[in-house]
Amino acid sequence: MTEPAYVAVDWGTSSFRLWLVDRAGEVLAERRSDEGMLAAARAGFPAVLQAHLSAVEAPAHLPVLVCGMAGAKTGWVEAGYVDTPAPLAAVLKQAARVPGERDIRILPGIAQREESAPDVMRGEETQLLGALGLEAGSEALVCMPGTHSKWVRVKNGIVERFSTFMTGELFSAVSRETILSLAIAGAEEAEDVASFKAAVKSAYAAPAFAANLLFTARSRQLLFGGTPAVARETLSGTLIGAELAAGLSGTVPKAGVTLIASGRLAALYRYAFDAVSITVQPIDADEAVRRGLSMAAAAIWTK
């Protein structure tokens, strides 16, 4: 087995992932847990990290590179922001050093300091780095779905503009805390792709009506019957369709939208883009963040 060269950590709001990586970028060991920023703020960031480092038998001198919410004001050590227009190369250069013996650094986020469209990201900049590289020549429109979906315009390796949509969090709040909780009770996700696509199309065509289309998940059941699965797809499709209407409202590059996502979200958004006839270039989000961390680690420690 080759020697480990560094440890890469993606430390989000609610999840923690760690990779032990060799000089060639190969993963030697991996850890995943739900000790995200919120849990780690209680348990203590150093203790959480050290437990995982011990579990993969990381040597004491091995450097650690972190991206994500651990760098937020409410995280471990505040890592600041690179402001838009933000060269992805600048992200590599502004990592914050965590005080202590081990060389631990946290990558900064990106901030859009516009009065009319303030926005922030933390973690997605590293995914962008891994997905597009430092010198992505042409213009890319990137969709990164999630709790807080990001839509990003990148040109020549520079993040020009981005917008955050609370789509995932809205889905969670609406499905649990409104009358729609009754309509969708018992439904599993992705049971009815046709209903999902129909809801995406409706909301994409009339996004102003999103709060009305959501209610039809309930009224359709009252008047015409219909399963909880259909209601759930209506809810999910409506929120994603409205997001697409906004995200796709500007110029869409010829190659389509770069979709950085993993697992069920990747599948769901591919259905959604298909429903509105937009081509996507899919990139796995897990791979992207690991590759981004590798690029950053190489830049920081192999100068």
When asked if residue 106 is in the footprint of its own copies (CB under 8 A), the reply is no
Give the end-to-end CA distance of the chain in Å, rounded to a whole number: 25
Tokens of 21: 């990586």
CA distance 208 to 20: 47
The string over 97-118, giving b where at least 16 C-beta atoms fall within 10 Å of a residue's C-beta and e elsewhere, is ebeeebebbbbbbbbbeeeeee
- Look up tokens 């869409």; give the residue: 252
Q: Token pair 């010198």 is at which residue?
A: 135
Pick the piece of the chain touching its own copies (CB under 8 A) from 16-24, 25-33, 115-123, 291-299.
115-123
Smallest distance, its own copies to C-beta of residue 294, A = 29
| Of residues 227, 238, 166, 161, the one with CA closest to residue 198 | 238
Query: Each residue of 271-289: b (16+ CB within 10 Å) or e?
Result: bbbebbebebebbbbbebb
Supply the DSSP symbol for 6. E
> Which CB, 39 or 298, lies closer to its own copies?
39
Instruction: Identify the three-state secondary structure at position 151.
Output: strand
Q: Is 118 in the site for its own copies (CB under 8 A)?
A: yes
Smallest separation, CB 157 to its own copies (Å): 23
Residue 172 as a binder of its own copies (CB under 8 A): the answer is yes
In the bound state with its own copies, the residue whose beta carbon lies nearer, of 201 and 270, is 201
**DSSP run (H or E) holding 173:** helix 167-177
76 phi and psi angles, rounded to 5 deg = -90, -70
Does 170 sit near its own copies (CB under 8 A)? yes
Please, which residue, 62 or 183, has the CB nearer to its own copies?
A: 183
> Which one among 22, 78, 169, 189 touches its own copies, defined by CB under 8 A?
169
**73 binding its own copies? (CB under 8 A):** yes
Among 40, 53, 77, 239, binds its own copies (CB under 8 A): 239
* Residue whose pair of structure tokens reads 């597009």 in the numeric block: 132
Binding flag, residue 251, its own copies (CB under 8 A)? no
Q: Residue from 186, 224, 277, 302 that binds its own copies (CB under 8 A)?
A: 224
Q: In angstroms, what is the minimal distance from the CB of 221 to its own copies?
A: 9
The one among 17, 52, 105, 148 contacting its own copies by CB under 8 A: 148
Nearer to its own copies, 28 or 41 (CB): 41
* Cβ-based nearer residue to its own copies, 4 or 241: 241
* H or E element, residue 164: strand 158-165
Q: For the residues of 232-277, what is the DSSP string, one character each?
A: HHHHHHHHHHHHHHHHTSS---TT-EEEEE-HHHHHHHHHHHHHTT
Q: Is residue 61 part of the contact set for its own copies (CB under 8 A)?
A: no
Judged by CB under 8 A, the residue of 49, 214, 265, 289 near its own copies is 214
Considering only residues 1, 24, 60, 222, which one is a binding residue for its own copies as defined by CB under 8 A? Answer: 222
Bond prior to 46 in cis (omega within 30° of 0):
no
Least separation in angstroms between residue 153's CB and its own copies is 14
- Is 257 an interacting residue with respect to its own copies (CB under 8 A)? no
CA distance 63 to 6: 5
**Helix axis angle, 193-205 relative to 210-224, nearest 10°?**
140
Q: Which is nearer to its own copies, 243 or 284 (CB)?
A: 243
Where on the chain is the footprint of its own copies (CB under 8 A)? 73, 111-113, 115, 117-120, 148, 163-167, 169-170, 172-174, 176-180, 206-212, 214-216, 219-220, 222-224, 239, 242-243, 245-246, 249
